[in-house]
Amino acid sequence: MTDDARAIVRGTRTATWIMLPAAALLARVSPAAARALAGFAIGTIGIAHGASDDRILARLLPRFPGGLAAISAAYGAATIGVAAAAWRAPATASRALSLLSWYHFGSGDASFARTASARARSLLDGALRGAIPLCGPDTGRRTVMCTLAAAAVLERIARGDVAGAADLLVPAGVLAAVPAPLGFAAYFGLWHAPRHLAIVTARAEQGGSFGRRSMQFAAESAGNTALAAAFAGLAFALARPAERRRVLVALTLGVTVPHQAAVWYAERRARSSDDRTRGGASESADR
C-alpha cells in the first residue's frame, strides 16, 4: 500500500476517534438528534460500505466467466438465498447473525488497525474488537467487555501503543455509556463503515487524493446502495409491526454473508500482494 493510501487510513482512524465520542455527547444533549445522525450514517455510509463488493470481486477475478454481470448476479442470488433461509428459521438466523457479526466487526477492525499502524495483532485482539459492539443492553456482558477492554488498553499504553489503546477505549467507552440500539447504530455508521470504506478507497485502482478515490467509490456503489435502501424500505413497509425484527435479521444476514465473503477474499488477496512486495524488497536488499 502506498504512503498516500496509508495516509487515508490513518486520517480515517483519527476521524472515527472524533466522530463516535461526538455522537455520544450528542446523545446526552439531544437523543433525537443523535438518532437522526446515526440513522443518516447508516442510510448513507452504512449501506454503501458493502455496495461495491461485486466490482471489487470483478477486479480481483478478471477471468471469472461472465465478468461483472455474472458476479453481480451471483452476489444478488446469495443475498436473496441467505435472507430467505433466515426468514424461514429466525431463531437460528439470529444466533448466526450474532456470531458472524462478532467475526466481521472484529476481523475488519483488526485489519484496519494493521493497515494503519502495521503492527501485528493476535486473534484475541480481533475477538475483543468484535465483542465490543455486540454487548448491547446486557449489563453482565458490558461489565465483562469493559474489564477486558480496560486490561487491553493498559497493556497497549504500557507498550507505548497509544493508537491501539484508543482503538479499544473509544468504542468500548461509548458503547458502555450510550444505550442500545443507539450505541450500536452509532458504532456501525460512524466507526465500522467509515473504516471499511477507507480500506476500499485506499486499495482502489485509481490513485490520487482521498476525494478522487471517494468519487470513484461513490460512482461504483450508487446503484447498489439505492437498490438496497429501496428494497429494505419496501420490506419494512410491507411487514407487519410484529414481523419487523424478523425482517431486519433476515435482511441483515442476507447482506452480511456475501459481504463478509467478499471482504475475506479481498483481504486475503491484499495480504498476498503485500507479502510479495515485502519479499521482493527483501531480495533487492540482499543483492
Inter-residue contact 120 to 114 (CB < 8 Å)? yes
Q: Model confidence at 156, in pLDDT bands (50, 70, 90)?
A: confident
Confidence (pLDDT) at 281: 52
The separation between CA 101 and the C-alpha centre of its own chain, rounded to angstroms, equals 9
> If you write DSSP's letter for every residue of 60-103 in order, what string do you get?
H-TTSTTHHHHHHHHHHHHHHHHHHHHHH-HHHHHHHHHHHHHH
Average pLDDT on 129-143 reads 76
Q: Model confidence at 218, in pLDDT bands (50, 70, 90)?
A: confident
Which region holds residue 160: left if phi is over 0, alpha if psi is between -120 and 50, else beta? left
Average pLDDT on 202-223 reads 73
Number of other CB atoms surrounding residue 32 within 10 Å: 9
234, exposed or middle or buried, with CB in 10 Å at 0-12, 13-18, 19+?
Answer: exposed
Task: Report the Cα–Cα distance between both ends of the chain, in Å, rounded.
Answer: 23
Cα–Cα distance measured from residue 160 to residue 236, given in angstroms and rounded to the nearest whole number: 48
Q: Does pLDDT of 119 surpass 70?
A: no
User: Who's near 217: CB < 8 A, 6+ residues apart?
Assistant: 48, 52, 197, 200, 201, 204
Confidence (pLDDT) at 272: 79
Q: Could you read off the pLDDT of 222-276 as tens digits, one per residue?
A: 888 888 888 888 988 889 989 999 999 999 999 999 999 999 999 888 877 765 6
Q: Does pLDDT of 19 surpass 60?
A: yes
Q: Does pLDDT of 121 surpass 70?
A: no
Confidence (pLDDT) at 264: 93
Q: Does pLDDT of 283 surpass 70?
A: no
Q: Does pLDDT of 280 surpass 70?
A: no
Confidence (pLDDT) at 113: 87
Cα–Cα distance measured from residue 58 to residue 46, given in angstroms and rounded to the nearest whole number: 22
Q: Could you read off the pLDDT of 59-116 as tens digits, one per residue?
A: 899 999 999 999 999 999 999 999 999 999 999 999 999 999 999 999 999 888 888 8
Q: Model confidence at 279, in pLDDT bands (50, 70, 90)?
A: low
Look over the chain and give the mean of its residue pLDDT values, rounded to a whole number.
85
Average pLDDT on 156-171 reads 89
